[in-house]
Structure 1
Amino acid sequence: MRSYEEAFSPYWYPVAFSHELKERPLAARLLGKELVVWRVGAGVAATQRYCAHRGADLCAGEVSAEGLRCAFHGWTYGGDGRCVRVPSQPGAPIPASAALASFRAVERYGLVWVCLDARSEQTLPEWPELETGKVATVALPRLDWDVSAGRMLEIILDVTHLSWVHKGTFGNPEQQEVPPYEVARVPGGLRAQITYPALSPAMEGVVPRVDRTTLTYEVFLPFAVRLSFKPTLFFQHTVYAVASPWSEEKMQCFYFASYHPGLKLFPDIFVKSELAILEQDRLVAEGQRPKAHPLDFSGEVHVRADRLPIEYRRGVIALRTGRPVEGPTPE
Structure 2
Amino acid sequence: MRTQDPLRSYQEVFSAYWHPVAFSHEVQERPVAFRLLGTEGVVWRSDTGVAATQRYCAHRGADLCQGERVTQGLRCAFHGWTYGRDGQCLRIPSQPSAPIPASARLDTYRCHERYGLIWVCLADTPAAPLPEWPELEDGTVAAVALPRLDWEVSAGRMMEIILDVAHLSWVHRGTFGNPEQPEVPPYEVERHSGGVRSRIVYPALAPGMEGAPGRVDRTTLTYDVTLPFAVRLAFKPTLFYAHTVYAVASPLSEEKMQCFYFASHHPKIRNFGEMFVKSELAILEQDRRVAEGQRPRAHPVDFAHEVHVKADSLPIEYRRAVAALRLGDAPRLPGLE
TM bracket (short chain): over 0.9
Give the gaps of 5 or more residues in structure 2.
Answer: 1-6
Give the gaps of 5 or more residues in structure 1.
Answer: none
Q: Does 1:21 align with 2:27?
A: yes
- Specify the alignment match of 2:323 in structure 1: 317
- Specify the alignment match of 1:87 in structure 2: 93
**Among candidates 44, 64, 75, match of residue 58 of structure 1:** 64
- Specify the alignment match of 1:188 in structure 2: 194
State percent identity of aligned pairs.
Answer: 72
Q: Any conservation in 1 of the 2:158–2:249 contact (CA below 8 Å)? A: yes
- Cα distance between partner residues in 1 of 2:134 and 2:331: 26
Alignment of 1:94-109 (within 5 A): 94-109=100-115
Q: Any conservation in 1 of the 2:18–2:119 contact (CA below 8 Å)? A: yes
- Cα distance between partner residues in 1 of 2:193 and 2:115: 20
CA deviation string 1:302-328 (max 9, x = no partner): 00110000010111111122x156999
- Specify the alignment match of 1:77 in structure 2: 83
Q: Does 1:132 align with 2:138?
A: yes
- Cα distance between partner residues in 2 of 1:255 and 1:328: 30
- Cα distance between partner residues in 2 of 1:91 and 1:12: 40
- Cα distance between partner residues in 2 of 1:263 and 1:81: 45
**Among candidates 153, 161, 165, match of residue 171 of structure 2:** 165
Q: Residues 87 and 228 (structure 1 numbering): CA distance in 2 closer, same or farther, change over 3 Å?
A: same
- Cα distance between partner residues in 2 of 1:61 and 1:268: 35
- Specify the alignment match of 1:175 in structure 2: 181
Alpha-carbon shift at residue 207 of structure 1 (Å)? 2.0
Q: Which aligned segments of 4 or more residues in structure 1 are displaced greater than 4 angstroms?
A: 324-331
- Cα distance between partner residues in 1 of 2:334 and 2:197: 14
**Among candidates 297, 310, 320, match of residue 304 of structure 1:** 310
Letter in 1 for 2:249: A
- Cα distance between partner residues in 2 of 1:188 and 1:4: 19
- Cα distance between partner residues in 1 of 2:148 and 2:20: 11
Q: Any conservation in 2 of the 1:185–1:328 contact (CA below 8 Å)? A: no
Alpha-carbon shift at residue 185 of structure 1 (Å)? 1.2
Q: Considering only aligned residues, what root-mean-square deviation do their CA atoms show, in Å?
A: 1.6
Q: Residues 327 and 298 (structure 1 numbering): CA distance in 2 closer, same or farther, change over 3 Å?
A: closer
Q: Any conservation in 2 of the 1:137–1:259 contact (CA below 8 Å)? A: yes
- Cα distance between partner residues in 2 of 1:302 and 1:53: 54
Q: Does 1:141 align with 2:147?
A: yes
- Specify the alignment match of 2:275 in structure 1: 269
- Specify the alignment match of 1:293 in structure 2: 299
- Cα distance between partner residues in 2 of 1:132 and 1:183: 29
**Among candidates 188, 192, 211, match of residue 217 of structure 2:** 211
TM-score of the pair, normalised by structure 2: 0.95
- Cα distance between partner residues in 2 of 1:306 and 1:136: 32
TM-score of the pair, normalised by structure 1: 0.97
Alpha-carbon shift at residue 176 of structure 1 (Å)? 1.2
Letter in 1 for 2:27: L
